[in-house]
Structure 1
Amino acid sequence: MWLATLLALALFPAGDAASAAWGSFPAELSVGELDREATLQCPEASAGQAVCWRKGGGKAVCPRPPRGPTLRLPPLDLSSAGNYSCWAGGTLLGWTFLAVRGLGLPRLLDEAAGVTCEAESYNSTVLRCAWLALRPAAFRLRLRRRGPGGAGAGCSSVEKVVGGRGPTWVELDASACGPECPSAEEVPETGLELELEGLGAGGRFQRMRRRLFWRDLVRPAAPEGLAARQEESTGQLRLSWAPPPSWVRPSSFFPLRFHLRLEFFGNLDREGLLLLSDLYSDRLEETAQPPRPHQLLNRVKIRCRDPIAPSPWSPWSAWAFPQ
C-alpha cells in the first residue's frame, strides 16, 4: 500500500493528482466543502510534533510553529483537491485524498433518479443495485445494517469505474446484510442504510444516502418449469409450474401469487388474430377452459409476486408452448 502511494505521489504532480484520481477510489478519503475552509489530520502524528505536508509531488510545507497532526486549508476550490501526505523527519506518516463537493460543481450521478436495489428473496445472498451515472467517475456503494438505536456496522461494499453517462449497476455480496430471520418484521430503527459515493475528474465528489428495508428490496425471479397441455376432446387446459429456485421456503410462510398470460389462436386455422387471457393463481397448477369453445392455445408465460408485502412482479418467464 505504501509503495503504491509513494508511486502515485511521484507520478501525479500537484496539478495532476486530482485529474487522475477518478480512475479508482482512494483507500483514504477526506471530503471538503466548496468555498469553505478544511482541516486535514495526520493520525500517526502527536500533538506539537513538527509535521510537514506535501500535496502530490510538490514541495513540502512545514507549518511554523509546529501544529502537530493538523493542517488547515483556506476556502476550497477544485485546485485544492489531490493527494496530501504528512511527513516527520523524512518518514511518511500517512496520506489522504482530498475531494471537493458543492452545489456549484457538475453532478456525477442523478440524485432525482436515485439508486434502486433488488433481491430475489428474503434470504438472498446477492443484492443488485442500479443508478444513472452522468459523467466518468469511480463509484463506491456501501451498505450498513442498522440495529436498535441506530447502531450498526458495514456489511457490504463494492466499487465500480464508469466511463461516461448511462445506467450503471453492481452486485453486492449481501450474505451479511439480510435479516437474521426472513419472516421477522423490520421496524424504522432497523433496516439498511445505503451510501453511494462518486469521485470524478478534478476531485469532484458527490454522496447520496438512503434508508432501505429488506422487504422493499425483494423482487422474485421468474417461475420455472412452466408446462401446458390441452385436451383435444374438451379443450381443457392443464397448467403446472414451479416457484423460482431462489425463493425462500417454506411456501406456507412465504406464499407467492402467480399470473399467467395465455395466448390463443383466434380461429381454427391458427392464422390471423391472437387472443390474450389472464389467469391468477396461488397454487402450482391450474385447469382452465379457453375463452371460446374449441380455441387452441398458442403459448403461455408466467410471473409471480409476494402477495403479503406486496413485492413488485417478477420478470416474465419465457413463453412455453403446449405439449
Structure 2
Amino acid sequence: MPVLVLLALCIALTDTLTAFPPKFLVGNLNEDVVVKCNTSRQEVKWTQNGEPEPMAELVENGRNLTILGLDLPATGNYSCWAGGVLLDSTYVVVGDSGEGGRAASCRADSYLGSFRCSWKGPRSAVFRARLTRRWVSQPPAPAPPAPRAHSAFPHSDGSVGLWVPAAGHGGRFSANFTDPSFCPFAEELRPLQLSFEGISDTSFLSFSIHFFVRDIVRPDAPQALTAHLHEGQLHLAWAPPASWPLPRSYFALLYWLQYELPNGTQVDTFVEGTEQTRLRERVRRVRISCQDPYSNSSWSPWSGWREVGTAGLRRG
C-alpha cells in the first residue's frame, strides 16, 4: 500500500462560502437531483439559501426533495426544518464542465519536501486537496460521478486530513504543501499526485496534476556576494541560498556569474564545485544565479547587482 499524505485547504473570497460545506451534492446541469433530509421525521419544510420560496421547481416527498432540471439559479444551500428547528442542510451545486482548474503548477526552492502550488479557478471558491505518491502506470484519479453526496475528503483508511490556509486573488489561487515522507537523499521513483476539489456558489470542479519534486526545484538566489581586490585580481565570493539543503558536497550547485565591464559589455562565466572565483577584468558590477546541475532544475532568480566600480585590472 502506498503511503498517503492528505492535505486540505480553503480559500474564502465571498461571504457565501468561507469553507467547504459539511455536506454537499453535485448534480448534472438540467437533470433532476434528489436532496435527502437526514431525519426520522416524515414531513419537513424546505428553504433555499434561507428563503422559504426557493428559486427552483421542486417536488417534495416527505424527507426527499427533488429539484427538477437543475440550473444555476437552483443551486445553493437547501435546509430542512421542523417548525423552527433546523434538521439538516445540503449545499447543491452543478458539476463543472472541465473549464475550471487550469494552469496548475508547483515550485520548490530545495529538496526538503516543501513546495508551493498555484492554479486557476472560479473567483468565488473554496478548495481542498489530497497529496499522494503515485505509481507511474496509474491513471489520474477520475472526477467523482454526479450527482453524489460529499462530506470530508478521506484517506483510503477513512482518516481525515487537516485544513491549512491558502490565498486567492482574481481567480488565481496558491497554497504551500509539505510531503513529510519525502527524503532528499533517496532516489525519487514515483511522482507526487495533487488532486484538487473546488466548490463555488454554483459549481463543483476537480482536477489533478502529477510531478517529481526534482522537476519543480528552482533554487533561491545565492547570497552574500562580496568582491575585493587582492594581488591585482578581483576576488568574488558568495554563499548558497539559505534554503538550500546541506551538505554542500552532496547538494552541489552550478553558479552563473554575470559581470559588466566599464563599456557596458556583459560577460558570463560559470563556476561549479566552489563558491569563489577571481577575475582580471576591470568590472563595474556583478550578479549571480545558480542551478542544480544534476536535475531538470531551473535557474534561480538573479541576486541583486553588486556595484564594484572600476575595480580590477585589465587582462594581462
TM normalised by structure 2 equals 0.70
Check 1:110–1:180 CA distance in 2 against 1; reply closer, same or farther (3 A cut).
closer
Counterpart of 1:282 in structure 2 is 272
Check 1:141–1:119 CA distance in 2 against 1; reply closer, same or farther (3 A cut).
farther
Amino acid at match of 1:59: P
CA contact (8 A) 1:228 1:239 kept: yes
Aligned residues between the structures: 271
Instruction: Provide the rounded CA distance (Å) in 2 between the counterparts of 1:52 and 1:144.
Output: 40
Aligned counterpart for 2:85 among listed residues 73, 82, 91: 91
| Offset at residue 258 of structure 1 (A) | 1.4
- Show CA shifts across 1:174-233 (max 9, x none): 34x243322233334x52314162525xx2444432223322332211110111224473
Instruction: Provide the rounded CA distance (Å) in 2 between the counterparts of 1:96 and 1:157.
Output: 23
Amino acid at match of 1:256: L
CA contact (8 A) 1:258 1:281 kept: yes
- Show CA shifts across 1:29-85 (max 9, x none): 43322222333344x435x85454322223388833x3x5x5443221111111111
Counterpart of 1:58 in structure 2 is 51
Counterpart of 2:184 in structure 1 is 182
Amino acid at match of 1:311: S
Unaligned runs of 5+ in 1: 1-19, 266-272
Counterpart of 2:210 in structure 1 is 211
| Offset at residue 312 of structure 1 (A) | 1.1
Higher strand share: 2
Check 1:102–1:194 CA distance in 2 against 1; reply closer, same or farther (3 A cut).
closer
What is the aligned-residue RMSD (CA, Å)? 3.4
1:170 aligns with 2:174: yes
Higher helix share: 1
Counterpart of 1:298 in structure 2 is 284
Asked which structure has the greater RCO (Cα within 8 Å, sep 6+), the reply is 2
Aligned to 1:301, what secondary structure does the other structure show?
strand
CA contact (8 A) 2:101 2:206 kept: no
- Show CA shifts across 1:235-270 (max 9, x none): x332211111111112233222211111112xxxxx
Aligned to 1:142, what secondary structure does the other structure show?
strand
Aligned to 1:180, what secondary structure does the other structure show?
coil
Amino acid at match of 2:246: R
1:239 aligns with 2:246: no
CA contact (8 A) 2:197 2:204 kept: no
CA contact (8 A) 2:195 2:206 kept: no
- Show CA shifts across 1:271-314 (max 9, x none): xx311111212233333444xxxx31111111112222221111
Counterpart of 1:268 in structure 2 is none
Counterpart of 1:140 in structure 2 is 127
1:195 aligns with 2:185: no
TM normalised by structure 1 equals 0.69
Counterpart of 2:302 in structure 1 is 316
Instruction: Provide the rounded CA distance (Å) in 2 between the counterparts of 1:41 and 1:279.
Output: 69
Instruction: Provide the rounded CA distance (Å) in 1 between the counterparts of 2:241 and 2:161.
Output: 29
